Amino acid sequence: MIRWATRSHISHVFVVIGHLHGSNIILEANGREVDITFLEKYDGDNTFVSVYYPPSCLSAQEMDKALFHTVLKYKLEKYGWLQILSIALSGIFPSVTFLKQGVICSELAFYFLEQLGLLTRSSVNKAFNPDRATPQDILLLVSGVYGQGKQP
């Protein structure tokens, strides 16, 4: 449904934020809430996801600070299903009122990467709105910035 609504070939995006006992830990907005979980939950999953590995030149302190600010901002947010609906309707009715409620995965990924200093709203495009960004938008932005977008 998300790929149809956003007209994107990717349905989900998240960021690898660390490792624990040999497993990758990810930050995501997962359809219910903002969550920190293991990447392995997507092993064998047929969803179309995009995984971002921030550059290794970032310090643990930079990663922790960005994670802290991101989780602090979004920890109580539910998933933004109304945003997905708004994105879908804006493709049919460009003047549709945008329904901002909750957070979607691409918005969360953008904010985290913005906190790391890897993306900025001004460096992207003046018309860019992270609230309306699709997973595919984030893939294109991140690939252009540091070439780390990966589709398993």
Q: What angle do CA 49, 14, 117 make, to 5 degrees?
A: 135
* Each residue's pLDDT tens digit, 52-104: 777 777 888 988 999 999 989 888 888 877 777 777 777 677 666 666 778 88
- Token pair recorded at residue 108: 């969360």
Contact yes or no for 66/72 (Cβ under 8 A):
no
Contact yes or no for 108/132 (Cβ under 8 A):
no
Q: What are phi and psi of 52, to 5 degrees?
A: -115, 130
Contact yes or no for 145/118 (Cβ under 8 A):
yes
Distance in angstroms (rounded) separating the CA atoms of residues 59 and 124: 24
Strand partners, 149: 52
* Each residue's pLDDT tens digit, 105-121: 888 888 888 888 877 76
- Flag whether the pTM goes above 0.85: no
Distance in angstroms (rounded) separating the CA atoms of residues 74 and 101: 12
Distance in angstroms (rounded) separating the CA atoms of residues 101 and 112: 19
Is pLDDT at 149 greater than 60 in this prediction? no
Closest CA to 150 of 12, 3, 34: 12
Contact yes or no for 134/106 (Cβ under 8 A):
yes
Compute and round to an integer the Cα radius of gyration of the chain.
15
* 25, amino acid identity: I
Is pLDDT at 147 greater than 60 in this prediction? no
**In 10 A of CB 61, how many CB atoms?**
8
Is pLDDT at 124 greater than 80 in this prediction? no
